[in-house]
């Protein structure tokens, strides 16, 4: 069904956020000016990284309109180069990086918005799902959290037993979840491509051999798929340990992105990049509250009150 549009502006009607405690708090943070104050004090000369998965174009358009008026979009490769050189002179004030995890097919619908706002995001691809009819395992279950606690072999067995899911099963073309080869070719030149492993396992739950295959193998597969060097890695579900960090460096990546909350300043380890995370369907109020770093500041205060060192 076609989306309704205003007879005056020709644009889709603005979303009205659900009234929840979180939405009220986000609205208060945005309207009070606290988001501006925190971003320009604790977060000054630091770069937030936003994490998306599969946002609807209408929602993402609202987000970009807000962000473009307040931030300068920076490529991930530019941020990582500054971190390796420890030279912050090429990082403009109020810079922001946008990333997408997994390689959902809906991402290609955002290309006109990338072009309109001059945004070059990083898309982290699951290389044995992108370009195929295979599906993301975590979308096949109602609640993926209990499955994430299983060893990788147990996870696959549970998915087969409970929902009949196999990571190698190909589905009909009208049920494809991931970007296809034509989509990748269309996006090439408009985005940076990174790796998000091959099948999106929880890496610390994998054997040494499987973890290395997922990290190292996905790098070469991204490069074969897009015809460009793959320098950036994102840990599935944000889970990693010292083994995974060592394997990422051994494979030749230049950075790794976590899901830990915080900014990225000149002293940030490029293999432990932090993020500002929120749901794909977040309201602009929540976007404003999250990207400003208010949440990371609150977390830091809590750590300080508990006697833990402050980290950003």
Per-residue pLDDT at 14: 61
pLDDT the model gives residue 262: 92
125 close to 103: Cβ distance less than 8 angstroms: yes
| pLDDT value of position 57 | 98
CB-count burial class (<10 Å; 0-12, 13-18, 19+) for 11: exposed
pLDDT (0 to 100) of residue 42: 80
Structure confidence at residue 46 (pLDDT)? 95
pTM of the model: 0.89
Residue 9 CB partners (closer than 8 Å, separation 6+): none
Write down the pLDDT at residue 238: 97
CA distance 43 to 38: 6
Please give the Cα distance from 193 to 222 (Å, whole number).
7
Q: Which two tokens stand for residue 239?
A: 């889970």
Residue 195: Cβ-neighbour burial (10 angstroms; 0-12, 13-18, 19+): buried
pLDDT at 23: 86
pLDDT tens track for 171-203: 876 778 999 999 999 999 999 999 999 999 999
Structural domains of the chain ordered from first start: 44-294 (3.20.20.370)
How distant, in Å, are the alpha carbons of 15, 40, 96, 130 from that of 70? 21, 12, 10, 33
Task: Give the orientation angle of helix 57-68 with respect to helix 284-291, to 10 degrees.
Answer: 50
Mean pLDDT by 10 residues, the chain (312 residues): 43 63 83 84 90 98 97 98 96 96 98 98 98 96 96 97 94 85 97 98 98 98 97 98 98 98 96 95 93 74 62 38
8-34 pLDDT per residue, tens? 434 555 666 667 877 888 888 888 888
């Amino acid at each position: 069904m076609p989306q309704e549009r205003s007879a005056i502006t020709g644009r889709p009607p603005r979303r009205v956020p659900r009234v929840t405690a979180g939405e009220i708090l986000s609205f208060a943070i945005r309207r009070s000016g606290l988001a501006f104050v925190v971003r320009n004090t604790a977060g000054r000369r630091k770069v937030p990284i936003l994490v998306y998965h599969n946002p609807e174009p209408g929602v993402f358009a609202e987000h970009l309109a807000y962000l473009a008026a307040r931030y300068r979009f920076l490529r991930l490769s530019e941020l990582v180069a500054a971190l390796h050189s420890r030279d912050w002179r090429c990082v403009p004030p109020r810079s922001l990086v946008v990333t997408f995890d997994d390689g959902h097919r809906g991402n290609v619908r955002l290309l006109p918005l990338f072009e309109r706002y001059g945004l070059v995001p990083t898309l982290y691809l699951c290389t044995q799902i992108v370009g195929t009819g295979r599906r993301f395992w975590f979308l096949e279950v109602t609640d993926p959290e209990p499955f994430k606690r299983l060893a990788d072999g147990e996870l696959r067995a549970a998915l087969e037993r409970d929902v009949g899911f196999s990571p190698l099963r190909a589905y009909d073309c009208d049920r494809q979840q991931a970007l296809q080869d034509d989509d990748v070719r269309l996006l090439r030149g408009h985005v940076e491509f990174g790796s998000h492993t091959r099948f999106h396992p929880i890496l610390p739950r994998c054997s040494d051999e499987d973890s290395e295959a997922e990290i190292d193998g996905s790098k070469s597969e991204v490069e074969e798929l897009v015809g460009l060097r793959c320098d950036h890695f994102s840990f599935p579900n944000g889970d990693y340990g010292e083994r995974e960090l060592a394997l990422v460096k051994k494979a030749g990546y230049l950075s790794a992105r976590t899901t830990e909350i915080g900014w990225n300043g000149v002293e940030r380890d490029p293999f432990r990049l932090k993020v500002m995370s929120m749901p794909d369907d977040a309201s602009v109020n929540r976007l404003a509250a999250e990207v400003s770093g208010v949440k990371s500041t609150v977390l830091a205060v809590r750590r300080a009150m508990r006697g833990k060192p402050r980290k950003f």
